[in-house]
Amino acid sequence: MRSRYAVAPVPPAAPGMVPEDGVTDHYLSELARWRIHRDHELRALDALTRTHADREDLNADITFSMTLWHSIVQRHDLLLSTWQDTKEGTGQREWVARLIWGVLELPDGDGQALAIALPEALRLSDALAASLRARVRGDDELPLKERLSATQQDLLRVRAEVEAADPAVGGRLTERLVAADELAAELTPTSDDALGRLGQLESATALLERDLIIARTSAVHARADAGQAQDERDHLVARGEAVRSLAERVLNTLRPAPRLGIPDVTALGEVPTDENDLAAYVANLERVGRALDQAHTTYAAALAEYADLVDRAERLGRTLAGCGAPTSVDLAGMLTATKQSLHNRPADIQRASALVASQEAYLGQLRPDA
């Protein structure tokens, strides 16, 4: 896939394996770059689709892509917290592996909602973004030959994955794969309407990969058994530790800080073997998962508010550096107090928020262009 776009990093280890420290550091760094680049891409694609003739048809994939990106970002945040604890000796490396390969739940109520692991979610995001670019012609500035070569490579990879998939999964996509192969065989940079037909091929290839991932993960999810319940329990243990780590960071960093109870999945006991008991146990696991989602969202939002205040205070400082008296004199003391509020531990969020808002309002009156 073209390097000018965000491309999912290779997982640091196979499922069930604990990655080495250096590989984990590299993976988390690559994932950080991926999330920033994909955010920029989705914003650009959303802007393109606003005036597109097929906006209504594109809206579902844009919304799903943004929802998926948000879920990936949340998992990355948990991974960072867990990895920091691990390096400091208070966490376990096994939890990192579980957070990578444990299911990443998407919000209920979405027709495309499904439970997938982080690497699959990243690849699904890549496929969705590629499909959207093709449908809105977001790649028109690239040379046609380069686009065709990249798409042919993508199609080869998707074909190999379809052929390797379970027949119940891959069989449903075979007819579409054959049609894409035929289109690719007929297409050259000098073909009539090459640009339009290439867009069709790009979209067909990306949608094939998206639907393959969805079909494969949905098939696994449908085969719920004691083994899968055990995997989910292990995953929730790792998630619970990561959310507790995040909560501790918030409590040590901010005042006031949210205080939510974080459920302990081990309190549910071991996975039962009886079918009736297993169904109830899985339902309890789902409730624990939703509670962890709520706690994670709440604590992550508190840190995001803090980061926003720090950013606004830094912008105020840069603005004041270019101001002359009396503006800079009037606000200098307030800016100093703001920075003290933000840099103390725990930071006084309410005081800092009031000070930042006052300074922004004051500047807005004196310098409407600021």
pLDDT band at residue 342 under the 50/70/90 scheme: very high
Position 254 confidence tier, pLDDT thresholds 50, 70, 90: very high
Q: Which residues contact 172 (CB under 8 A, 6 or more apart)?
A: 215
Averaged over 97-102, what is the pLDDT?
Answer: 87
3-class state of residue 105 by DSSP: strand
Q: Round to whole Å and give the CA distance between 353 and 338.
A: 8
Amino acid identity, position 242: A
Q: What is the pLDDT of residue 110?
A: 44
79 burial type by CB count under 10 A (0-12 exposed, 13-18 middle, 19+ buried): buried
Mean pLDDT of the chain: 83
Residue 325 has pLDDT above 60, yes or no: no
CA-CA-CA-CA torsion for 180, 1, 60, 116, nearest 10 degrees? 100
Mean pLDDT of 95-124: 74
Q: How confident is the model at residue 340 (pLDDT cuts 50, 70, 90)?
A: very high
Please name the residue that has the structure tokens 């739940």: 105
Q: What is the pLDDT of residue 37?
A: 93
- pLDDT level of residue 1 (50, 70, 90 thresholds): very low
Report the relative pairing of strands 103-105 and 115-117 from DSSP bridges.
antiparallel
pLDDT band at residue 9 under the 50/70/90 scheme:
very high
The token duo for 316 is 């105020």
More confident residue, 54 or 30: 30
Place 329 in a pLDDT band, splitting at 50, 70 and 90.
low
Whether pLDDT at 2 is above 50: no
What span, in angstroms and rounded, lies between the C-alpha atoms of 162 and 117? 19
Q: Please tell me the predicted confidence (pLDDT) of residue 151.
A: 81
Cis check: omega of the bond before 15, within 30 degrees of 0: no
| 121 or 327, higher pLDDT | 121
Tokens of 59: 């809206």
Supply the pLDDT for residue 112: 43
Closest CA to 318 of 331, 306, 305, 307: 331
Burial of 181 (0-12, 13-18, 19+ CB in 10 A): middle
First to last CA, the chain: 42
Which distant-in-sequence residues (6+ apart) come within 8 Å of 67 by Cβ? Answer: 106, 107, 110
pLDDT (average), residues 153-158:
84
Could you tell me the two tokens for 166? 């379970």
Q: Select the highest-mean-pLDDT range: 87-96, 225-234, 252-261, 313-322.
A: 252-261
Q: What is the pLDDT of residue 76?
A: 92
- Which pLDDT does position 109 carry in this prediction? 40
Report pLDDT digits (tens) over 176-185: 888 888 888 8
Looking at residues 273-295, what average pLDDT do you find? 86
Q: Average pLDDT, stretch 14-25?
A: 88
Provide, rounded to the nearest whole percent, the portion of the chain with pLDDT above 90.
26
Pairing state between β 115-117 and 254-255: unpaired
More confident residue, 255 or 164: 255
* pLDDT for 166 beyond 80: no
What's the confidence (pLDDT) of residue 209?
80
Average pLDDT over residues 106-112: 47
Q: Which of 283, 239, 232, 235 shows the shortest CA–CA distance to 262?
A: 239
Q: What's the rounded mean pLDDT across residues 238-254? A: 91
Single-letter residue type at 190: T
Residue 85, token pair as written in the block: 């604890």
Contact 79, 99 (CB under 8 A): yes
Q: pTM surpassing 0.85?
A: no
Q: How far apart are CA 370 and CA 359, in angstroms?
A: 11
Q: How confident is the model at residue 305 (pLDDT cuts 50, 70, 90)?
A: very high
Above 90 in pLDDT, residue 216? no
Total residue count of the chain as it appears in this document: 370
Q: Which two tokens stand for residue 91?
A: 């966490």
